[in-house]
Amino acid sequence: MNTMRPLRALLPVVVLLAACSNPNGQSNAQQIPDLAQPTRKVPSDPASMKASFSPVVKKASPAVVNVASRRVVRQRADPFWDFFMGGGAPREQVQGSLGSGAIVRADGVIITNHHNIQGIAEGNGEITVQLADRREFQAKVLLDDPRSDLAVLKIDTKGERLPVMAIDDQEQLEVGDLVLAMGNPFGVGQTVTNGIISALARTDVGAADFGSYIQTDASINPGNSGGPLVDMDGDLIGINTFIISRSGSSSGVGFAIPASVVKQVVNTALGGGHSVVRPWLGIKGQPVTSEIARSLGMNAPRGVLVAQVYPGSSADRGGLKEGDVILAIDGQAVNDEGGGAFAIGTHKVGDRVPVVVRRGDRDQTLTVRADAAPETPARDERVITGRNPFDGATVVNLSPAVAQDLSVDPFAGRGVLVTKIGQGAAMNVGLRPGDFVREVNGRQINTVSDLVSAAQAGAGRTWQVVIERNGQRIAARFNP
């Protein structure tokens, strides 16, 4: 199964450029000044005739690998089929995926996409890595980071030193720079395509919730997932991760995770970490529109208008206030909330980061300490059991850290969040991951302990439950 998936369907826009004629029927040719015609000439030397990306490919390709994963998925049996054929036990199905990766350390450390190996980190399946010389190795997962859609693998090389691709997070990328996309599209084998950087800092698209992507027109197709985007020095500047396409194949709009995020994830894995702790700014904001810019006396729409500041967050302690407009973080222009989260999130916890804000009619620079999202209250993650509508649901206390991990709104207030649904009453009554439990039998639920107590106290009664889903409160009544 190919894992490079289209983000969403887009309607193509065709722009027709029509020639304009003079309304009086007269030619405009004499009104246009003569323009110098481009000079065309035959290449004058063998070197110019043989200009090629080959040297870059020769340097980079030995470090490009294929990544294949297989896992067994237990599926619920089909009741209709079981009624006629007997049985009833869950069926097992083997699911596979095919992607790419790059060797980033000579002892067999490899970077790839999370979605290439999704589900394998829990030990349910196997990962096979094929090197450029076609040798195959079983790989283990050192770190899986769904937020960035990256994973770090390790193969046992028995002491052999493998070719490595350098991660270049210091390159000053510019739109128009030449790049190569490398990987294994459609499983045909290692392939190289070329193009340019089409855009930088794309934060309004993405398969993951933490990203500021490099956009490229180099052909990227299913199977390229996890493969490197390479500059003209043969260094890794990004990891190809998704495309926008109506057909599912390359339409020249592909996206790569920048090297700064790749390096952060790799360094965490090599440091023994099992999860990436990213700084959290702690604001809720909206892009400055033309209308907002006019109301604030700004000459152009730019920046993020701060609507809320989380108490005790990095932003709060750094002096940001509601009504401020964040213009830049660490010298990086910020134009939406995602861009701000990315700019602060790629720093190390404890870094002091300059933030330029517009307050009133002047700009000023604040210094914010990059701190992790607080885990207050404590998670207290539990699986609810017993004769109640929540039986089989895994719940957790909401905190900024939990909100960051699960991509929910940290400003939703105190509450108990449903994270998983297993076998039990919770599945039957229609609870879903992402639901907030707000009330049980008239009792407000603020913590997991509140929910456990209410579930125990309500045994044998009619249940009145209020949940919040996608910002909407839903009340329901259940009989025992």
Active site residue 114: no
Q: How far is it, in rounded angstroms, from Cα 69 to Cα 223?
A: 12
Catalytic residue among 97, 100, 115, 314: 115
Q: How far is it, in rounded angstroms, from Cα 111 to Cα 154?
A: 9
CA 5 to the chain's CA centroid: 13
In this structure, the answer to whether residues 125 and 65 fall within a common structural domain is yes
Residue 480's pLDDT is 63
List the CATH number of the domain containing 463: 2.30.42.10
275 is a domain residue: no
289 is a domain residue: yes
Residue 45's pLDDT is 73
Give, in degrees to the nearest 5, the angle at Cα 449 between 451 and 416. Answer: 55
Residue 283's pLDDT is 94
The HSE-up count of residue 351 (CA atoms within 13 Å, CB side) is 16
Residue 244's pLDDT is 86
In this structure, the answer to whether residues 363 and 435 fall within a common structural domain is no
In this structure, the answer to whether residues 401 and 345 fall within a common structural domain is no
Provide the token pair at 160: 């052999």
In this structure, the answer to whether residues 75 and 149 fall within a common structural domain is yes
In this structure, the answer to whether residues 346 and 321 fall within a common structural domain is yes
Active site residue 115: yes
In this structure, the answer to whether residues 195 and 115 fall within a common structural domain is no
Q: How far is it, in rounded angstroms, from Cα 452 to Cα 55?
A: 64
* Residue 67 and residue 133 in contact, taking contact as beta carbons nearer than 8 Å: no
Residue 245's pLDDT is 81
Provide the token pair at 71: 């896992």
26 is a domain residue: no
Residue 93's pLDDT is 60
Residue 424, CA distances (Å) to 19, 450, 453, 467 in order: 68, 20, 19, 18
Residue 478's pLDDT is 84
Taking every pair of C-alpha atoms in the chain, what is the biggest distance, in angstroms?
93
Burial 83-103 (b: 16+ CB within 10 A, else e): eeeeeeeeeeeeeebbbbbbb
Catalytic residue among 100, 144, 145, 149: 149
135 is a domain residue: yes
**Where a domain ends, among 339, 369, 399?**
369
**Total residues belonging to the chain:** 480
In this structure, the answer to whether residues 263 and 291 fall within a common structural domain is no
In this structure, the answer to whether residues 190 and 109 fall within a common structural domain is no
- For the chain, give the secondary structure using H, E and C: CECCCECCCCCCCCCCCCCCCCCCCCCCHHHCCCCCCCCCCCCCCHHHHCCCCHHHHHHHHHHEEEEEEEEEEEECCCHHHHHHHCCCCCEEEEEEEEEEEEEEECCCEEEEEHHHCCCCCCCCCEEEEECCCCCEEEEEEEEEECCCCEEEEEECCCCCCCCCCCECCCCCCCCCCEEEEEECHHHCCCEEEEEEEEEEEECCCCCCCCCCEEEECCCCCCCCCCCEEECCCCCEEEEEEEECCCCCCCCCCEEEEEHHHHHHHHHHHHCCCCCCCCECCCEEEEECCHHHHHHCCCCCCCCEEEEEECCCCHHHHHCCCCCCEEEEECCEECCCHHHHHHHHHCCCCCCEEEEEEEECCEEEEEEEECCECCCCCCCCCEECCCCCCCCCEEEEECCHHHHHHHCCCHHHCCCEEEEEECCCHHHHHCCCCCCEEEEECCEECCCHHHHHHHHHHCCCCCEEEEEEECCEEEEEEECC
Catalytic residue among 225, 260, 314, 399: 225
Partners of residue 113 on adjacent β-strands:
150
375 is a domain residue: no
Burial of 459 from C-beta contacts in 10 A (0-12 / 13-18 / 19+)? exposed
Which residue, among 470, 388, 456, has the nearest Cα to 426 in the 3D structure? 388
Omega of the bond leading into 480 within 30 degrees of 0 (cis)? no
Residue 165's pLDDT is 97
Q: Which domain holds residue 314?
A: 283-369
Residue 90's pLDDT is 55
63 is a domain residue: yes
In this structure, the answer to whether residues 320 and 234 fall within a common structural domain is no
> How many domains is the chain partitioned into structurally?
4
Active site residue 149: yes
Partners of residue 254 on adjacent β-strands:
216, 243
List the CATH number of the domain containing 66: 2.40.10.10
CA 28 to the chain's CA centroid: 52
In this structure, the answer to whether residues 406 and 332 fall within a common structural domain is no
The pTM of the full predicted model, rounded to 2 decimals, is: 0.79
Burial 277-300 (b: 16+ CB within 10 A, else e): bbbbbbbbbebbeeeebeebebee
Mean pLDDT split into 10-residue runs, the chain, 480 residues: 42 29 40 51 68 91 94 54 50 72 97 90 80 95 93 96 95 92 91 95 75 92 94 95 82 92 96 91 94 93 95 95 96 90 92 95 94 93 93 94 88 90 90 93 93 84 90 86
8 is a domain residue: no
